[in-house]
Amino acid sequence: MAPPFESASIELDFPLYAIDFDTEDSNRLVVGGGGGAGRSGVGNKIAVLETTSQNEIQTAGDITLSRDEDSVMSLALGARKGKTTHLYAGVNSSPESIAKGTNEHLRTLAIELPKAREKAAGPSTKVSEISRTSMFTDPDENSYQRLLRVVGQLGVASTAMGKDPQIGIFEATGPNPKVKGVFELPREAEDLDVIQTAENEYLVAFCHKYELHVVKISKEQGDPELVYTMPDDHGEKPMFRSIRFLTPNFILAISNLPKKNGIIIQGLRLPKPGHETARLAVAARIPGKINATALSVTNLSPPANLTTPVTETQFLVAVAGNDSAVYVYTLEHMITAQLPLLVNLYPLTTLKTPNNADNLTGLAFSTFVAPKSNPRPQFVKLASISLQSTVSVYSIPLKKYVDKTPRNPKGPPRATRYVVAMKSQTPSSRPIIIIMTVIVLLLAIIGQAVMEVYGGSKPILHAHKILPSWHGTLRTPGHQAAALLQESFIANLVGGNEDLTGETLILRDILPGGVDEEDEHNDEDEQYEGEEGDYEGEEDEEYSEVEQDGEAERNGEAEEDSEVEEEAPTADAPTNQIRVDAHREADDEAKRWDELSEEHKEAWKEKLLEAGKWTRDMGEGVFKGILFGELAGAVGQAFAG
């Protein structure tokens, strides 16, 4: 997949361990590394690179260091004076010098920029070493200067692999650093950073494993203070990997979860006087079986000077993982009621294998300064280095942004600032909706299956087919599903007459001798030829006649409303015949089951029992939705006697 940003890359001839951008020129960066002491074929170098375009990067100058000494393990660019920029690097002396008790590990180099007319002639930046300094007192030959940070006129460095871990403070004001102090650490610092808080006042932070400490540096050096201890989250206690100051009030930290279960990004609010510990302001998790290897942060609206308070701005955060990917996030800094806040720590993009699946060893952002007039498209650069000697630089496009809401109703409008042009991935409710929908669907399927097994619903899923043969059914024959019983009952009444399907049905009694209630009501004095007996009819309505004991036979054409009549009974025939018709508006005397009197209900039950259309096990629920006409005179006789 193509990267989302324009990029340039270059491969050097030595392993890379350290990187930093020139704070005054976003097109220039410095990298360092090497093969170490006594390693044949791989030199120790520092190279100055320039991005001539978004798709091209070239070497502007370099310096080859002694192969008898260690490789460049850390570096940081200092202030520029004229055409010269000071570079501070951590390079151990030769093993012979260390054995004699001398380790001039802090090197100062000068990078002399070419004149304007020389730039067209090719790379001509000159890099030269101008001084060596020893800060640390640990005589361990395995100790080396692993970490180095320079801000303003102050530099901070720390040791690694030694018996007595130390942090050194020095003045980075010129070619000869002046050591201000060294203090011992109980454990080796995993990472450190420094920020200027006021004139000649700085705040140094360092972390190791589960603890974060800060030290105030001014005319007098303070003591380290423990400000945060990593909490234990159900047995998963993340370990600090790297930290960077965002403002004097906030620190951004990345931590690795145990067993490579992912990376935690935390924005911590540092404690004010009177408060003991830092508080979590914002957090995010990078999932996957990965660990973090490097961190870089940049402010897209940096203050005019290091002591000016930070206002509304967007930070870019880059985290390198051991999976050769760079995870880029955005983070908003807001001022609300004079209280600074960190919000919206959202993923922006993931740069997959930017260095051809190499092992990433460092990240660095360029310093973005907003143009004053007639700006062209603006970019901030993100560079990564690898153990396999490759450097990749990505150009992340920016856009203007104006906060529409002023800080207060009567206040002036907020200043225009720059943010990343690409939109961050804000949390979406779509996954939650999908999950909830799936859960509801599964519950509905399970509910339907259970109802089918218990006989409470018409088979749709046919859940009984997946039950073992010995399971049988969870319902008894005497307790069939009400819905199924009513379907069967109505189908039995209607027979094969499709004209009655879906209609509201009305049941009418047929009098002995084949006279139904309607005929009896219209002409109660007439008698059918070949039939016996007189019967008194009840109220009548227009219906289609269906006899229940046999196949319908007709002497003439079908009567109106799909009337179907069974073979007329003789005088000796049973009187259990029932006529089923579709309900019409004229059937105003028909009643629903719950409207019938108890006497009529019992009579209808007996009638249906005799006809073989209903059993008492079915219950009265099957009569729901069916209308009942008046019974024949026999019903009256039954209750008269």
Quick check: 395 and 326 in contact, CB under 8 A? no
Do residue 445 and residue 493 come from a single domain? no
Provide the sign of the torsion angle of the four alpha carbons 68, 69, 71, 77, taken in this order.
negative
566 in a domain, yes or no? yes
Task: Extract the residue ranges of the chain whose pLDDT is less than 70.
Answer: 1-2, 39-40, 116-123, 274, 354-356, 405-413, 454-458, 464, 467-486, 495-503, 510-577, 582-588, 632-641
Do residue 440 and residue 498 come from a single domain? no
497 in a domain, yes or no? yes
135 in a domain, yes or no? no
Q: What angle, rounded to 10 degrees, do the helices at 633-640 and 598-611 form?
A: 120
Helix/strand/coil for 220 = coil
Do residue 574 and residue 628 come from a single domain? yes
pLDDT of residue 264: 96
pLDDT of residue 630: 76
> DSSP characters for 496-556?
T-GGGTTSPEEEEEB-TTS-BHHHHHH-TT---TT-----------------SSS-B--SS
Do residue 555 and residue 455 come from a single domain? no
Do residue 448 and residue 528 come from a single domain? no
Do residue 495 and residue 456 come from a single domain? no
233 in a domain, yes or no? no
Do residue 541 and residue 635 come from a single domain? yes
> DSSP characters for 414-471?
PPPEEEESSPP----SHHHHHHHHHHHHHHHHHHHHHHHHHT-S--SS-GGGGS-TTT
69 in a domain, yes or no? no
Task: Provide the H-helix boundaries in 11-54.
Answer: none
Do residue 506 and residue 631 come from a single domain? yes
Q: Residue 535 is part of which domain span?
A: 482-640
Quick check: 393 and 326 in contact, CB under 8 A? no
Do residue 588 and residue 452 come from a single domain? no
Do residue 619 and residue 585 come from a single domain? yes
Quick check: 184 and 101 in contact, CB under 8 A? no
271 in a domain, yes or no? no
pLDDT of residue 629: 79
Hey, which bits of 257-378 come out as E strands? 263-269, 279-286, 292-299, 313-321, 326-336, 339-351, 360-365
Query: pLDDT, tens digit, for every residue of 302-330?
Result: 988 877 888 899 999 999 999 999 999 99
pLDDT of residue 306: 78
Alpha-carbon distance 4 to 546, whole Å? 77
pLDDT of residue 351: 92
Do residue 443 and residue 486 come from a single domain? no
> What is the maximum span of the chain, computed from C-alpha positions, in angstroms?
141
What backbone torsions phi and psi does residue 56 show, to the nearest 5 degrees?
-145, 135
pLDDT of residue 247: 95
pLDDT of residue 502: 56
285 in a domain, yes or no? no
Helix/strand/coil for 24 = coil
569 in a domain, yes or no? yes
Q: Which of 228, 234, 296 is nearest to 261 (CA)?
A: 234
The count of structural domains within the chain is: 2
Do residue 444 and residue 525 come from a single domain? no
